[in-house]
Amino acid sequence: DTEVTQTPKHLVMGMTNKKSLKCEQHMGHRAMYWYKQKAKKPPELMFVYSYEKLSINESVPSRFSPECPNSSLLNLHLHALQPEDSALYLCASSQDLSGSPQEQYFGPGTRLTVT
Amino acid sequence: AQSVTQPDIHITVSEGASLELRCNYSYGATPYLFWYVQSPGQGLQLLLKYFSGDTLVQGIKGFEAEFKRSQSSFNLRKPSVHWSDAAEYFCAVGGGTNAGKSTFGDGTTLTVKP
């Protein structure tokens, strides 16, 4: 199984709402990633978890809060977002972060609209 | 610092024609190079990767890429394009002390004419 799943596919939320994005993989990967992608742009790295510990935070605003409850699951908690946060949020996983960079397996993404 | 340039923002080819998408990278040591494809509204799918060894790399869906160190390039090719190849293509480079970070190019949009 080389699939990364993400729920929900689409999410519309107001600026005062709290919501969560979920990501799951069953490939035994120990590194998991959150990316933000605007239309016609490359993915921008937000967070990286390695062995359930936060390894990289690319200076993301605190209204985005990641969580890795176990090696298969990755959440992104959203609170008090701004309209400019509307984007496609992609989750990815890779074997781990040791040694050489490895290919990342991406989920289909969650299309987020902030109203 | 590592960087990736994809000089062509948009390319249009006829179905059945050959394709070459350009990628130039900047990196101080041996780079780890990737090509990903993204269909509209979807996640990214790895087409192929280069870490070391043979500089001509075969990937999925009939794609190949050639690593040329002297030109700092990793161009993607396909001998005969199918309509289903229409998508966004991203070249990426990884490496250095932080294995979690890959730098993506801005992407090339491929349109396929019938």
Tens of pLDDT along A79-90?
Answer: 999 999 999 999
Distance from CA of B94 to the nearest CA of A (A): 6
B104 and A107: CB-CB below 8 Å? Answer: no
pLDDT at A99: 66
pLDDT cut 70: percent of chain A above it = 96
Q: Which of residues 17-56 of A touch B (CB under 8 A)?
A: 31, 33, 40-43, 45, 48, 50, 55-56
- Angstrom CA distances, A35 to A75, A92, A109, B55, B67, stand at 12, 8, 9, 30, 27
Average pLDDT over residues A74-103: 89
pLDDT per 10-residue tile (average), chain B, 114 residues:
92 97 88 92 91 91 95 96 97 72 92 95
pLDDT at A100: 67
How far, in Å, CA of A67 to CA of A69, rounded? 6
Per-residue pLDDT for A98 more than 80? no
pLDDT at B110: 97
Residues of A in contact with B42 (CB under 8 A): 108-109
Per-residue pLDDT for A77 more than 80? yes
Among the listed ranges A1-5, A109-113, B61-65, which one has the minimum average pLDDT value?
A1-5
Kind of pairing between the strands at B56-58 and B3-5: unpaired
pLDDT at B97: 54
Whether residue B22 lies within 8 A of chain A, CB to CB, comes out as no
- Give the burial class of B92: count Cβ atoms within 10 A of its Cβ; 0-12 exposed, 13-18 middle, 19 or more buried: buried
A101 and B90: CB-CB below 8 Å? Answer: no
Residues A13-52 pLDDT 10s: 999 899 999 999 999 999 999 999 999 899 999 999 999 9
Q: What is the mean pLDDT of chain A?
A: 92
